Structures are given as structure tokens and as C-alpha cells.
Amino acid sequence: MLLSPQAERNWQDLCSVLEELLESQSHRKLFALELGSGTGQHIIRFGQKMPFVTWQPSDIKKESRDSIKAYIAATNAKTVLQPVHLDASDTWDKWAGLSHSSCDVVIAINLLQYSSFKTAQGVFNGAGQILRQNGLLITYGVYAMNGTITPSCNAQLDAELRKLNPEWGLPDIDVLRQLAYSNGMRLERMIEMEEYYKCLIFRKL
């Protein structure tokens, strides 16, 4: 079981956002796909707090999928499915056999800033296909806005990420808004979280 200190710090705030967004639909069964699930710490907590949702974890890395499996076993999670291999930069027909319009929620936590633009395109293209009408794409992370990164700690994080991998870095909210629009979604809300992080909520039209 891998342990991310950041996931341990932010899971409660993320749960609160999801509960607020989904509670009005808790009378029916929902299906949520997480992209880049990492250790599995988030999705296990989401499963415990929101049992009316079936949670599908996924990650490109075997090490992450093994950790998610260990968390599922350790917590005896009933509403979290076994993790699937899913490369979010692939076209949606390669997204682990998920069907068109089969998801109510797609969530990506701290994925976009650790990814190439091709992955961001994949996330929005894929979500545009597998979300039902009115379904939500939720991205959590730190962002640039109108080509500007503030405050200086975020500019520093962007520089550090680009040093690790020139294709990584803080995605620009305006670029994501365009990607959403060209894939049948619109940016509905931006929720301020701790330390300049934000949840962006995109709705499938």
C-alpha cells in the first residue's frame, strides 16, 4: 500500500466537494471513473462516504494498481471495483472497455499538471464520450489562468515540474475551457481549495 501524504491531507476536502455535487442524486446508483488514481487513498474514502456510487479506479502504472488493490482488500471496500489499466492519453475506445455515455462522473486528481498536453486532450475527449448527458468531469490541481501563473509558489512548482519533464506543468484554465467546449462540455464552477488548488467542474451538455 503506497502512501501519499498529500492525499492524506486533501481527501476530506475532496469528499466534501463530491458529496455536495452528488448528494441530490443519491437516490439512484451512480458510476464514477477515476483517472490516475495513484495510491488508491482517495477512491477508498470516496467509496466509504458515498456508497450510492460505484467507483472505478484506474491508472497507467502497475505499481499504482497494485496499491489500489491492497487498499480495497484492507478496507473490504464493497463499492470500489478492481483497478483497470487506463492510459488517459488514449482514445476513449481504449479506456478499459467502458461504454459510451456510461459514466456519471469522471474525476482526475493531480493528473493534469503531471501530464503532457496529449493527456489533457485525452481526458477531455474521453470524458466527452463516456459521460452521460449532465455528467461531470472534475479536475483537481493547480492551474495557470490566461497564460499567467500566480502566486510565485505556483510559478516555482510549474518550473520544477517542467524540469522533471518538459511536457509537464500547470495547465491553463482557458485552454481546458476550450478543450471542454470542443468536447461537448462546459466549465460550470471553479471551487477554491487549500493552498491555491482548485476543483474545476465541467458538465456534459
Ligand X SMILES: C[S@@+](CC[C@H](N)C(=O)[O-])C[C@H]1O[C@@H](n2cnc3c(N)ncnc32)[C@H](O)[C@@H]1O
Sites of contact with ligand X (CB under 6 A): 4, 7, 35-39, 59-61, 64, 86-89, 109-111, 114-115, 119
Spatial distance between the Cα atoms of 38 and 42, rounded to a whole number of angstroms: 9
- Least distance (Å) from ligand X to the CB of residue 24? 25
Cβ distance to ligand X smaller for residue 84 or 173:
84
Cell numbers 470524458 label which residue? 127
Element (H, E) at 38: none
- Tally of residues, the chain: 205
- Least distance (Å) from ligand X to the CB of residue 176? 16
- Least distance (Å) from ligand X to the CB of residue 21? 18
- Least distance (Å) from ligand X to the CB of residue 113? 8
Cβ distance to ligand X smaller for residue 131 or 161:
161
Cβ distance to ligand X smaller for residue 25 or 157:
157
Cβ distance to ligand X smaller for residue 4 or 25:
4
Spatial distance between the Cα atoms of 103 and 106, rounded to a whole number of angstroms: 7
List strand residue ranges (DSSP E) for the chain, in order.
Answer: 30-35, 53-56, 58-59, 84-85, 103-109, 131-141, 185-192, 198-204
- Least distance (Å) from ligand X to the CB of residue 142? 12
Residue nearest to ligand X (CB): 38
Q: Look at residue 177 and give its three-state secondary structure.
A: helix
C-alpha cell of residue 171: 495547465
Q: Look at residue 175 and give its three-state secondary structure.
A: helix
Cβ distance to ligand X smaller for residue 25 or 117:
117
C-alpha cell of residue 85: 489499466
